[in-house]
Chains A and B, each alone.
Chain A
Amino acid sequence: MATGNAFNRRLFLRGAGGLAAASALAACGGNTGREDSSSGSGKTISQWYHQYGEAGTQQAAQKYADAYKDAKINMQWVPGDYDNKISSGLLASDGPDVFEWHFNYQLAKSNQVVPLDDILGDAKSDYSEADLFSNSLDGKVYGIRMIDDPQLIFYRKSMLDKAGVAPPTTIDELIAATKALTTKDVKGLFIGNDGGVAWAANHVVPAAGHQYLTSDRKVDFNNDAVASAMLKVRELMATKGLLLGAPTEWWDPSAFNQGLCAITRQGLWAMPAVQKALGDDFGVIPTPSFGATGKPAIYLGGWSTFVSAKAKDVDAAKAFVKWLWIDNTEYQEDWALNYGFHIPPRKSLAAKAAKLQSGPAAETLKLTEQYGWVDDPAFTQTMRTTFTDAVTNIVQKNKDPKSELAGAASKVDAELKSLFG
């Protein structure tokens, strides 16, 4: 669900990041007179990023672009609805040559991106299997992972101690903790202003011990385990301990930092801001397990970089991607660790990242290795929307879980058939 969450995050940034964007405009120097002399070959490559929330990211991206000598890099920082901008850009002739996005089956099937196995070369073994899987189709790798963003649960140690609650490991414990931690001024749990619909749709299936699709591309969410897990989410909502309609969304740690809730879903990216506000008064746990077949889970989102099949010079674009996101480990480390916190996808880099070696960050890294899971590129956006609608009907509209899941499964089946035959 990287797309859905990242999209929400950007929507928030569109509003709140206005000031940051305005101040960043001064530094936005895409065409600063380096046209003729410095770039020897005279080639121009356009590169697109979505608008990151962490301060300094745009300047960093510009710095990397300026440092490349074999071509002029025209870096574009895209605020607003990045998904739409990319999908229309890929259809038009003035789209990006190199861009960051999330891989899905359609991108490769409609030949919008090119395989990158040749530039990946020996470095392939340095990436985790999960990161390669989420960017591959039929044995070819189409995207190079830039950052890994684990999404897990943060809790306020002092509040849990005061209420005599242990960090929850199962959904039943989470429900009990939510009830116990809710007071007049503090809500027990914050899983999103949508009442947890996106959370339930994105995080619960793996925590119930299943996948969206099996490895041979069959529906794996239409079963009793997922149905009863969704009923547990409904039970969670009924506790009246959920923080709903907060001024900020869950990916912004403000509500947690201001003490509006005791437990919150969160991403590793927010850890520097939480540490600054709360010091050591917080801990991290994975999404708790659901039911007897369940296991704790951590969704590993993130961003990958792609080369458009319509690039003016595909080889030059590939060479740039190889230079920045495969060979240049110094910049990759800078990108992952110096603004928000992200896990560098290169195992060799992650192992020596000093900032992730201690405290809750180290704990997150360890938990992610144990419980992390990634998007399946065969589970397309259309299928996600179908599944999310079924989840909304179950947890918010109290419809029958089995028939809703069965209905979603038959629609996803039809999609699978039309895509894969």
Chain B
Amino acid sequence: MVTPQTSPATAAPDRPRPVRRRRARSQALVFWLFVGPFAVGLLIFVYVPILWSLWLSFYDSQSTVTPTEFVGLRNYQDMLSSGPFRESLITFTLFAAFIVPLTFAASLGLALMVHRIRFAQAFFRSVFFLPTACSYVVASLIWKLSIFNGVRFGLANTVLEVFGQDPIPWLSVAQPPWYWFPIISVRLWLQVGFYMILFLAGLQRIPRELYEAAWVDGASPGWKTFRHITLPQLRNTSVAVLLLLFIAAYQAFDEFYNLLGNVVNYARTPLQQLYITALGASQDYGRGSAGAMILSLLIIFVTLFQGKLFGFGKPAE
């Protein structure tokens, strides 16, 4: 407000300038009005806790979040030495190696089918997307109590009985590991629809001319066009889906917690392990924070490596 009045001489020859400046200023105001509350929230509820957690991870923070006893890297050593946390990191790296391609293939397959369908496309799109709106907890309880319960009148066991099989205690034994069936099926049911929508959006952006040109060049619709047109054109979508899937696999918690609980250690996720370490009666915030840092680093590493491998963000060829 002050500048234009103090130097009217310079302002005079270039009349539109103050207006533009005022507009720029009011745009900045609008920018901060919109971004400010979010940025402040992000700072207070995300970045401060992350830094605090980093600080806690170097201290003996048993039952306190204002520790005084510096222990260096001891918490990291404890979490990484052979024990349940390291085991769960290994288990869930294997889990990711299995569930990520499976979810990827299932949602891409579903998207291709829904994309090609000529009638009721909106209906099928909604039907497959709907489970995404269901809470993990609710779905887990349905899976646990009615579909995969261990008694003879559970849905899965009723089906087995029709084929003359004995009922299976799905979630109650470690060997054989039947519990993977409920866990993987509930995860697929909940997630596939969401990634299908991402793929559908990607498929709709592929120009039809490419397929027509390929057809003119003699490539019949089918595997060949899928391999040489659809897949390369979907590269950015695919990389984004893979990224989200990897992060989701390492951050698994809800369905494991609700289906298997915290007592048994068949397949405790890294987050469950941290929950046990840091919360409840243990209250070991130092080791818990160290574990959280290790997990974050692992996720960041896998994400960067994958981005590098598949060229995330590069323009499509």
- Contact status A245-B261, CB under 8 Å: no
Tell whether A195 is near chain B: CB-to-CB under 8 Å: yes
- Contact status B282-A396, CB under 8 Å: no
Q: Which residues in window 372-394 of A have CB below 8 A to B?
A: 380-382, 385, 388-389, 392-393
- Contact status B169-A195, CB under 8 Å: yes
- Contact status B263-A4, CB under 8 Å: yes
Which residue of B has the minimal Cβ distance to A260? B151
Tell whether B26 is near chain A: CB-to-CB under 8 Å: no
Return chain A residues, CB-CB under 8 Å to B172.
193-195, 244-245
Tell whether B170 is near chain A: CB-to-CB under 8 Å: yes
- Contact status B279-A83, CB under 8 Å: yes
Given contacts A110-B64, A194-B263, contact A396 B175 (CB under 8 A): yes
- Contact status A246-B263, CB under 8 Å: no
The digit string for A187-214, where 1 denotes a CB below 8 A from any CB of B, is: 0000001110110010000000000000
Determine, out of B32-40, B90-98, B141-149, B232-240, the stretch whose residues face the partner at the interface: B141-149
Tell whether A84 is near chain B: CB-to-CB under 8 Å: yes
Return chain A residues, CB-CB under 8 Å to B263.
4, 8, 194, 197-198, 201, 388
The digit string for A393-413, where 1 denotes a CB below 8 A from any CB of B, is: 100111000000000000100
Return chain B residues, CB-CB under 8 Å to A3.
280-281
Tell whether B251 is near chain A: CB-to-CB under 8 Å: no
Tell whether B121 is near chain A: CB-to-CB under 8 Å: no
Which residue of B has the minimal Cβ distance to A92? B65
- Contact status B282-A382, CB under 8 Å: yes
Tell whether A175 is near chain B: CB-to-CB under 8 Å: no
- Contact status B283-A87, CB under 8 Å: yes
Query: Contact residue range for chain A?
Result: 35 or more
Tell whether B62 is near chain A: CB-to-CB under 8 Å: yes
Tell whether A243 is near chain B: CB-to-CB under 8 Å: yes
Q: How far is the CA of A17 from the CA of B84 in the complex (A)?
A: 33
Tell whether A102 is near chain B: CB-to-CB under 8 Å: yes
- Contact status A91-B64, CB under 8 Å: yes
Please pick, from B83, B149, B264, B276, the residue contacting A392 in the complex, using a CB distance under 8 A. B264
Q: Which residues in window 97-146 of A have CB below 8 A to B?
A: 102, 104, 106-107, 109-110, 112
Tell whether A15 is near chain B: CB-to-CB under 8 Å: yes
Return chain A residues, CB-CB under 8 Å to B279.
83-84, 87-88
Main secondary structure of the interface of A (DSSP, over half): helix
Which residue of A has the minimal Cβ distance to B87? A389
Q: How far is the CA of A194 from the CA of B262 in the complex (A)?
A: 10
Given contacts A382-B284, A388-B263, contact A243 B151 (CB under 8 A): yes
Q: How far is the CA of A106 from the CA of B285 in the complex (A)?
A: 13
- Contact status A245-B264, CB under 8 Å: no
- Contact status B261-A87, CB under 8 Å: no
- Contact status B280-A84, CB under 8 Å: yes
Tell whether B135 is near chain A: CB-to-CB under 8 Å: no
Q: Separation in Å of the B84 CB from the closest CB of chain A? A: 6
Tell whether A279 is near chain B: CB-to-CB under 8 Å: no
Q: How far is the CA of A397 from the CA of B265 in the complex (A)?
A: 10
- Contact status B281-A87, CB under 8 Å: yes
- Contact status B149-A83, CB under 8 Å: no
Please pick, from B141, B151, B174, B280, the residue contacting A396 in the complex, using a CB distance under 8 A. B174
Tell whether A421 is near chain B: CB-to-CB under 8 Å: no
Tell whether B307 is near chain A: CB-to-CB under 8 Å: no
Q: How far is the CA of A185 from the CA of B150 in the complex (A)?
A: 13
Please pick, from B63, B65, B174, B276, the residue contacting A397 in the complex, using a CB distance under 8 A. B174
Return chain B residues, CB-CB under 8 Å to A247.
145, 149, 151
Q: How far is the CA of A244 from the CA of B145 in the complex (A)?
A: 12
Tell whether B171 is near chain A: CB-to-CB under 8 Å: yes
Listed residue (A4, A8, A107, A247) with the most chain B CB atoms within 10 angstroms of its CB: A247
- Contact status A392-B265, CB under 8 Å: yes
- Contact status A102-B281, CB under 8 Å: yes
Given contacts A106-B63, A245-B154, A382-B284, contact A194 B265 (CB under 8 A): no
The 7 closest A-B pairs by CB, nearest first: A245-B150, A244-B169, A244-B172, A396-B174, A110-B63, A381-B281, A83-B280
CB pairs A–B below 8 angstroms (22 shown): A3-B280, A83-B281, A87-B63, A106-B62, A106-B283, A107-B63, A109-B63, A110-B62, A193-B171, A195-B264, A243-B150, A244-B169, A244-B172, A245-B154, A380-B282, A382-B284, A388-B265, A389-B84, A392-B265, A396-B175, A397-B174, A411-B83
Chain B positions within 8 Å of A, measured between CB atoms, are 62-65, 83-84, 141, 145, 148-152, 154, 169-175, 261, 263-266, 276-277, 279-284
Q: Kindly list 15 other residue pairs between chains A and B, CB separation below 8 angstroms, not including A7-B280, A245-B148.
A: A84-B279, A84-B280, A88-B279, A193-B150, A194-B172, A197-B264, A243-B151, A244-B172, A247-B145, A381-B282, A385-B84, A388-B265, A389-B84, A392-B265, A396-B174
Chain A positions within 8 Å of B, measured between CB atoms, are 3-4, 7-8, 11, 15, 81, 83-84, 87-88, 90-91, 102, 104, 106-107, 109-110, 112, 185, 193-195, 197-198, 201, 237, 243-247, 260, 380-382, 385, 388-389, 392-393, 396-398, 411
